[in-house]
Amino acid sequence: MALREINVALGDGAVGVKIWKNVGMSLRDAQRRYVMPDDARIEPIYARLQRDHIVLLGHQAEPRDCWLPYAKMTIRSDREYYREHPQYYMYLHPDRPSREKILAARDRMLAEHPTLRFDALHLASLEWDVGRVAAFLDRFPNASVDIAARIAHLEYQAARHPAKVRRFLIRYQNRILYGTDDAYGPADDDPHAVAQIAADWHQDWRFLVTDDVMHSSEFARPFRGMHLPKAVVDKIYRGNAVALFPKAWPGLN
253 residues of the chain, pLDDT tens digit each: 577 888 878 888 889 999 999 999 999 999 999 999 999 999 999 999 999 999 999 999 999 999 999 999 999 999 999 999 999 999 999 999 999 999 999 999 999 999 999 999 999 999 999 999 999 999 999 999 999 999 999 999 999 999 999 999 999 999 999 999 887 777 777 888 888 889 999 999 999 999 999 999 999 999 999 999 999 999 999 999 999 999 898 877 5
* Predicted pLDDT at 53: 94
**Chain mean position to CA 208:** 17
Question: How many whole angstroms separate alpha carbon 145 and alpha carbon 128?
Answer: 14
Question: How many whole angstroms separate alpha carbon 15 and alpha carbon 56?
Answer: 9
Nearest Cα residue to 181 out of 98, 74, 59: 59
Question: How many whole angstroms separate alpha carbon 20 and alpha carbon 213?
Answer: 36
The number of helix segments (H) and strand segments (E) in the chain equals: 11, 7
- What predicted TM-score, i.e. pTM, was given to this entire model? 0.94
Burial level of 11, CB count in 10 A (0-12/13-18/19+)?
Answer: exposed
Domain residue limits, the chain: 3-184+229-248
Ordered DSSP codes for 43-104: HHHHHHHHHTTPEEEE--S--GGGGS-GGG-S-HHHHHHHHH-GGG-GGG-TTSPPHHHHHH
Question: How many whole angstroms separate alpha carbon 50 and alpha carbon 83?
Answer: 38
* Predicted pLDDT at 5: 84
